[in-house]
Amino acid sequence: MGGSTTRMDRLWRRLLALFTYRRRRPIVWTIEFVPTDVPKVDADLGVSKRAKEQGEAGFPSITDTEPDFVHRLVYNHFHQQVAYLHTEVQALAHHCDSQFTQIGVERIPEQIRSVPDRFQQLADGALVGYQSRLDELRERRDNAKAAYDDFKRKYGLIADADYPESKFVHFSVPFGLLAVEALFNAYVFSGADPMGRGIAGGIRIALIIALINIVIAVLLGNSLRNLNSRDRFKQLLGWISALAAILYIPLNLFWAHYRDRAIALKNLDAFSFDELVKLRMQVLPDAWAHFIGNPLAITSIESWGLFVLGCFVVVIALSDGYKMSDRIPGFEDRHRALLKAQRALGRLHDECVSLLNESYRRISAELQIAEASYNGLLANYDSVLGAQERLETVYKNQGRDYVQSYETVVALYRAENNRYRAGQSAPAYFNQPPTRLEVPRFPADLQERYQRRKEFRSYASQITTEVTAATEALQSRWTAALRSIGVGSHGVTNAV
C-alpha cells in the first residue's frame, strides 16, 4: 500500500477527524486503493540485486527444496502488507458496526408499536398514586360534610354559611376607624393632659381611648354571635358581651367628663403650684364624681363631639366584628373544613389529569419524532452500508493487487536469478508456484446488512399505517384513563 509515511499521514488525519467532528451524521472512515509500485518494492527489498548475486554464485543450488531467503523476504513483505491491510479494514468494519448501532433505525418500529404500552405504564403509575390518596381524601370530605350537615340540622339551617371569603376588608375597617378617632381625640385632648405633658400627653390619652373604643369593640362584636348559639355557656358569653357593649355609652360620657376636667387645668396661671399638683392628682376622681352626679353635664362642644364620635365608632366596630364571620359560631369553621376537603379532592383530581395529559403529550411527541426521523435514519443506514460496501471493494482489490504483485516480484527474482546462473540449473521449486499468499476474508458479513435494509425499506412503506394505528391505540388508552377518574368528552363528571 505505498510507503509507511503515507499510511501514518492517513492515520493522523483520521484521528484528527475523530476528535474534531461535530456534525450530526454518521462518522465513516474509509481507505483508498493504492496500486503496488513493483519497481519500488524491487528497489526497497533489493530483489534484482540479490537475484544477480545469488545467480552468479549458483544459489540457490539445484538440491535445495525449501524457498531461499529472497523468496521468504518477498513473502514476508507482502504478508505484512496484507496483515496491516486486514487490521486496518477490520477496525474500520467494526467502526461501521458501531455506526449501525448508533443509528438505531431498527429500534423505530418497536418504538412505534410500543407506544400504547409505554403510555399505559405511565398512566398506571399516575392512577395508582391517585387511588392511594383518593380514599383518604374522600373520607375526610365525607366526615366534613357529615359534620356540616349535622350542624345545619341542629340549628334548623337551610342556607350555607354566610361569611366573607377574605377578611381583609373587615380587618382594615378597625384600622381606619382607629386612625380617624385617634386624630380627632388627639385634637380634642391637645393640652388637656392632667400631668402637663402637652400635646404628647394628649395624643397618648387619645390613643388609649381609641384602642378601647375600637379594638375591644371589635372583639365584643364578634363575641355577640354567641347569642345565636344553642350552647348555654356560649350564650352566657354572648350576654356578657352585649352588656359590655351597652356600657360603651356611659364609658364615652365619662371620656367627655374627663376631658372637661382636664381642660380646666390648661390655664396654669389661675392656680398656685400646690393647688395645681393637687388638682392633677384629683382629675380622675373629680371627673368620676361629675359623671355620677350628672352624666349629661358636659360643658364643651369638643367633649360632646368626643362622645358622639366615640359612640358612632363603637357601633361600627361592633357591627364589623359581628360580620367578620357567620352569625352562628362554628358554622363558618365547619363550612371552611368542608371546602378545604373538597378543594383537596379537586387538586388531587387535577394533578392526576395533568399527569395523564402530560404523559399523552410526551408519548405523542415521541411518536411524531420517530415517524419524522425514520427516513433520515434509513438514509444514514444506507450511507454507512454504502461506505462498508466501498470498504469491501477496496479491500478485495487491494488484496488481489498484493497477491499479483507478490507473484510478479517472485517471478522477477526467478528470471533474474536464472539469467545470471551461467547455464547452471535452478532448483525445482523455481518452476512451481510460489508459496500461496492468503488474504483473509472481509471482516464483515454484508448479506445480513442487505437483508436488514430490505426489511427497513419495506417498513418505510408501512410506517404511516403503523403510526396511525399506534396513535389510535394511544388516544383510546388516554381516553380510558381519563374516564376512569371521571373525565368525559364534555368535561369532568362527579368522580370525586
452-480 in b/e form (b: 16+ CB < 10 A) is: ebeebeebeeebeebbeebbebbeebbee
Among 110, 107, 112, residue whose Cα is nearest residue 367: 112
Q: What is the residue whose three cell numbers read 378545604?
A: 340
44-48, 106-110, 228-232, 296-300: range with lowest mean pLDDT: 296-300
Under the banding of pLDDT at 50, 70 and 90, the label for residue 100 is confident
Does residue 308 carry a pLDDT above 50?
yes
Reference 109, options 476, 458, 391; nearest CA is: 458
pLDDT for 173 beyond 90: no
**pLDDT at 1 > cutoff 70:** no
Confidence of residue 103 (pLDDT cuts 50, 70, 90): confident
pLDDT digits (tens, 9 = 90+) for 108-124: 888 898 999 999 999 99
Query: Higher confidence at residue 46 or residue 156?
Result: 46
Average pLDDT estimate for 12-22: 43
Average pLDDT value over all residues in the chain = 80
Instruction: Please compute the mean of the pLDDT values over residues 368-377 and round it to a whole number.
Output: 87
Q: What percent of the chain has pLDDT over 70?
A: 78
Among 363, 378, 368, which Cα is nearest to 104's? 378
User: Cell numbers at residue 348, please?
Assistant: 388531587
Straight-line distance from the first to the last Cα atom of the chain, in angstroms, rounded to the nearest whole number: 79
Q: How far apart are CA 478 and CA 471, in angstroms?
A: 10
pLDDT-wise least confident of 6-15, 41-50, 238-247, 485-494? 6-15
* pLDDT at res. 307: 78
Grid cell in block for residue 156 = 334548623
Using CA atoms, how far apart are residues 336 and 161, in angstroms rounded to an integer?
A: 9
Domain ranges of the chain: 30-77+356-492, 164-324
Query: Which pLDDT does position 16 carry in this prediction?
Result: 44
pLDDT at 324: 78
Selected residue with higher pLDDT from 154 and 10: 154
Quick: pLDDT tens for 19-61: 333 334 444 456 789 999 999 999 999 999 999 998 888 888 8
